[in-house]
Structures are given as C-alpha cells and as structure tokens.
Structure 1
C-alpha cells in the first residue's frame, strides 16, 4: 500500500449510504457543485475512481466502474430480445445506457426521457466517454416527467430500461405497480422492461417490493444481479419483466466492445444466492397468503 502524498489536500467525498454505513473517496478537485430545480449535482475528480457524478449525495457514476452497471442494465434485456428496434430509457441522463443501446445494430430509435436537463448537460461537459452517444442520429431526448411521457406513448417500444435514481421524491413513482402497468401499455406485444432495484444488503425492502410490483404486471419476471463497486455494498440487482420472451435466454448477439457483459454472464446472472431467492420468495408467499385472506 502506497502512503498518501501529504502535500495533497485531505479532502474527501463521503456518501452516507445508510445511517451506519458510508463510502469515502479522496477528492483531487471539485468540478461542479450546484442545485437544480430538482436535485443537487456534484462532480468531483477522485484519486481512486476518476470523475464522479453524485445526485443529492448519492453516487450515480464514476469513470472507473460505470461500465459494470450500464452494461448489465442494458444488454441483458437487449440480448434477450431478437430484434429490439425501439428503445425507451427512463432516467439515465448521463447517457451511459444510451451509449450501450446504440451498440445494437437492430436499434432504429432510442428515446431518453430525463426530467433534469442539467444532468444531461453536466454529463456532456464532464463525462464525454459516457455521454458520447447522446448526439447520435438515432437518439431523441425529452426533458420531462417520465411518468407523463410513458402514459402518452402506447404500443411503441420493444425494450424499456428504467435507469432511475433512488426511489425518493420525483423518482419514487418509478418503483410502483402503477408505473409498471403503464410501461406495459407502452411496450409492444413482445416487449421487455428492466429496472435497477438497489442492493439486497442495503435496501432489501426496495428489492423485494419493486420486484413484487413488477411481477404482478408481467407474466414473465425475474431478478438478476451484478457487481457495481461504488454502489452500496457493491452487489446490485435488476428486475426484468417480459410479455413474451424468457429473458434468461439470449436471442441476439452482444456488442463486441463490451468490458463486463458476456453471454455466459447473462445466463449466470439469473442464478441467485439463496438469501436473495429467500428475499423475493418470502414476499411471493406473503402475497399469496394475502390474496387468500381477501378471497375469504
């Protein structure tokens, strides 16, 4: 272990991930520190993970590990569909999901809907390797409430990717059954939806409740997982729902320029640790019991 350069300022970014848990990264430079209409935006240069984007104190991306998240939330759904032509990205103003979606040759149009235009502009300015596809001719951007947008677009998309912030304030509705029902209407008959569902160690209630909400809407639904080092606990989950295709199988090829996702990883990501199976299985049993009680 190399000793810290004592000539450098001892300035740290600290994310309070839970009341009793936090992550700290030493800061080399503060690049953006501002409040928008919707949230606080912070961009810093860290010594360990490069540039970091935080919204309301929560890490969204770092240059060093963003690919682990963006590839897993994107390519599992995209490769489970044989010909994803129209794709909707909800949130994800940094552009990382759009970058990955565009790598699929079948895509004809990808729509990014993010309520905060300042996030998009910040990523363009400070994260060019992440936002590089936002100006692609196949990409259209709508800066508005995603809940409203999805209601207004019916039977349009093959894939919807919900790259939302944590379920608080304006993003809370994106984790509810009502949103998934609206999203189902926006999907075509072969549609697939995927949403990030937090860490099973840090937020087990969000994992289980969000997956249960999605499962009540989509006839085919699974939870899968991957690693994201700078997210709480490093273990992350994703809920995926489908109208037609089993998302555990691959039907189209993965892009060549990936760093994390592989076909083998796609299949293995659905093999859940027992504690995670128990987490979502327990809620399934509770749901069945509640329905039986109401029926009587």
Structure 2
C-alpha cells in the first residue's frame, strides 16, 4: 500500500511526499504534531498538516535565518529566539563561541519534546548550557524586555493559528524595544509566490518598516516550502546586511555550513523584480 502525505500549497496546488511510516502523531493544546518517515526527505515534522522541516532540506532554512545576521553584526552575545521548536536555529547559533546566552521561547512544549525524541538532527543542541527554554507566548515574553538582546530571530509558523500574534505591529514594536541600539531582527517572511502567502509577506514587511531604519528582505530556495521560493526579513537599528558584512572575518571562524556562505549572503538580497514590486506596494511613497 502506498502512503502519501499531501499539503495544500494554495487552493489550486497540492504538494505530496511518499511516506514509509507514520512515526508519531499527537495533539497538543495548540496544534496537531506528526513525524513522518519518508524515502526522499528523511524524517518530516508537520504541524496542523503543514511541513515545518525535513531532515533533507532543513539546513537551508536554519542556516539562512541565523548566519546572515551573525556575519553582519560581529559582537552578538545575547540572542532571543521565538518559536523554533525543532531546535535547528539554536543548533546553528551555538556554533558561535562568542554567543553567551540564547533565550528560546516556544509556546508549545510538546513540539520540543517530540523533536528531541524524533528529530535529533535539529534538536540535539537544545541542551547546550547557554540555551534557556521558556514555554510561553513569545508576544507576552518580549513585551517585558527592554534594551536586552543583540539579535532576535522570529522562527515562527505561518500568520494564523499559534503563530498569528507574531505578525502584528505590536509584536514588532516590542521587538524593537527589546533590542539593544545595535540590535537586529530576523524573521521568516513567508513566500512571495502564491497569493495568500504573498499577502502575509507584504503585511509583515509593512509593519516592520514602521519601526526599523534598515529593513530589507532576502530570499532562499527551500524545496518543501510552498513554491520553493521563501523570504526572510532583516531589520536593524544600525547594521546594513551588505555594507557591514565582514566576509573574511566570518570565513576565519571556520564554521561548517552546507548552504550559507558570504557570497550567498550578498546574492540573497538581489530580489526578482516581481518581489521588488510587491514590496514597493507597501513601502512609504517618497
């Protein structure tokens, strides 16, 4: 019998992955959590029927949400990660000996527990002594912080369900306040390709631009995400992601990456015209 997992990427498009075995299924207070064993992508984590990460392509997402900021700001010591229950973002951050503290706020403890058991490839570094886990609402957590973090990474689910509050104007304003005067905010920014995803992307960009003097968008190719074309937001109080990149200093760290390098860093900010037009739609007219 052939088993297939299918996700709707748009009302008119489906994406299917052949499944060898359904390893885990559970319902938390917030969402349905499943782990699938697949022949092409290895183990796959889905939340509410949407692919969050797979063993085969997770490195692309996690490296690009982490290393772009780390290569831009050389003195990041205190980091806040919101979401990221699979642990992949933290795994990339702990590669830096200069980071002293990582606060990770995940609303759903069951996601972390399941990933620790079934997805050690991403979750194995959550036990690093510099990592402090908080199982609460990221919106409420960041509200209480001021001038504390050098970097905030918002590794959230889509702008509905448990992740909805992480796409609001209030949330981005609180992130701005929680950052130091040299602080950087990086967030997963949805896809520009399908209409519904593009709407979420434009709304997020518009809200972030209202707070940060530097607000850019960069792109990445992730095979299992809708359309494969995905965006991240880079917002900063001081550092420009291109002008302030010190490629030789980052290369000198000798970190092992499979996707990220300083040339990809620069190239990822060169956006297709259709995406530039979408962003221009919500940028203030001069």
Pick the TM interval, shorter chain: over 0.9
Runs of 4+ in 1 over 6 A off after TM superposition: none
Specify every segment of 5 or more residues in structure 1 that has no aligned partner in the other structure, as ranges.
1-8, 290-296
Structure 1 residue 120: Cα displacement = 0.3
Query: Highest CA radius of gyration, 1 or 2?
Result: 1
- Are the equivalent residues in 2 in contact too, given 1:12–1:26 (CA < 8 A)? yes
Structure 1 residue 170: Cα displacement = 2.8
Q: What is the number of equivalent residue pairs in this alignment? A: 279
Match of 2:285 in 1: 288
Match of 1:40 in 2: 32
Deviations 1:106-163 (A, max 9, x none): 1000111000000000110011111111000111000000011101121110000000
Match of 2:141 in 1: 149
Within 5 Å, give how 1:129-144 maps onto structure 2: 129-144=121-136
Match of 1:250 in 2: 245
Q: Secondary structure at the match of 1:190?
A: strand
- Are the equivalent residues in 1 in contact too, given 2:205–2:282 (CA < 8 A)? no
TM-score using structure 2 length: 0.95
Q: Secondary structure at the match of 1:76?
A: helix
1:273 aligns with 2:272: yes
Q: Secondary structure at the match of 2:126?
A: coil
Q: Secondary structure at the match of 1:133?
A: helix
Partners of 1:198 and 1:147 lie apart in 2 by 19
Deviations 1:69-113 (A, max 9, x none): 000011111111111100010000110000001111210001110
Deviations 1:234-291 (A, max 9, x none): 010011100011122324515521100000110111111111111101222xx439xx
TM-score using structure 1 length: 0.92
Specify every segment of 5 or more residues in structure 2 that has no aligned partner in the other structure, as ranges.
none
Structure 1 residue 165: Cα displacement = 0.2
Match of 2:186 in 1: 194
Deviations 1:16-50 (A, max 9, x none): 12111111011100011111100000100011100
Within 5 Å, give how 1:220-239 maps onto structure 2: 220-239=214-233
- Are the equivalent residues in 2 in contact too, given 1:177–1:217 (CA < 8 A)? no
- Are the equivalent residues in 2 in contact too, given 1:167–1:175 (CA < 8 A)? yes
Q: Secondary structure at the match of 1:12?
A: strand
Partners of 1:82 and 1:48 lie apart in 2 by 37
Q: Secondary structure at the match of 2:264?
A: helix
Within 5 Å, give how 1:25-64 maps onto structure 2: 25-64=17-56
Partners of 1:84 and 1:13 lie apart in 2 by 40
Structure 1 residue 66: Cα displacement = 0.2
Partners of 1:283 and 1:244 lie apart in 2 by 22
- Are the equivalent residues in 2 in contact too, given 1:17–1:58 (CA < 8 A)? no
Partners of 1:80 and 1:142 lie apart in 2 by 27
